[in-house]
């Protein structure tokens, strides 16, 4: 993600792989994000839908807002994992996922701030 050559496809691949990002974005989640911002998301699998949504958001000046929504979703996942980690039997399983989701919130936050500073 820190590579300057990272594009939307790489960001989408990261966000849609729970083992990397610690979150799960469903087709319904992606559709809801699109509807909230009145942006097209097209058809296809989750990867194509999210890629279309991010491209549409970039074209219509709504990418920072979509990144903010994704940040909120990742924060919710991180909070859920943190809550699970309070149970000693679940902590060894929840902590790595919490770390991944927290990293994703940081990445999305950094991306949003970077884009916001560019405008």
Integer Cα distance of 72 and 51 in angstroms = 19
Q: Which residues contact 103 (CB under 8 A, 6 or more apart)?
A: 21, 22
Q: pLDDT band at residue 114, thresholds of 50, 70 and 90?
A: confident
Q: What is the pLDDT of residue 5?
A: 73
> pTM of the full predicted structure?
0.91
Provide the pLDDT confidence category of residue 10 given band limits of 50, 70 and 90.
very high
CB-based burial label for 3 (10 Å; 0-12, 13-18, 19+): exposed
Round to whole Å and give the CA distance between 100 and 77: 10
pLDDT band at 6 (very low <50, low <70, confident <90, very high): confident
Q: Please say if the pLDDT value at position 40 is more than 90.
A: no
Mean pLDDT value across residues 27-52: 93
pLDDT digits (tens, 9 = 90+) for 48-80: 999 999 999 999 989 999 999 999 999 999 999
């Amino acid at each position: 993600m820190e590579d300057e050559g990272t594009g939307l496809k790489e960001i989408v691949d990261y966000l849609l792989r729970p083992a990397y990002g610690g979150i799960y974005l469903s087709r319904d989640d992606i559709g809801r994000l699109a509807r909230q911002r009145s942006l097209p998301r097209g058809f296809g699998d989750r990867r194509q839908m999210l890629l279309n949504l991010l491209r549409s958001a970039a074209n219509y000046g709504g990418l920072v807002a979509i990144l903010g929504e994704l940040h909120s979703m990742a924060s919710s996942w991180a909070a859920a994992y943190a809550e699970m980690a309070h149970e000693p039997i679940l902590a060894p399983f929840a902590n790595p996922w919490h770390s991944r989701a927290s990293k994703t919130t940081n990445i999305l936050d950094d991306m949003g701030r970077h884009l916001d500073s560019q405008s």
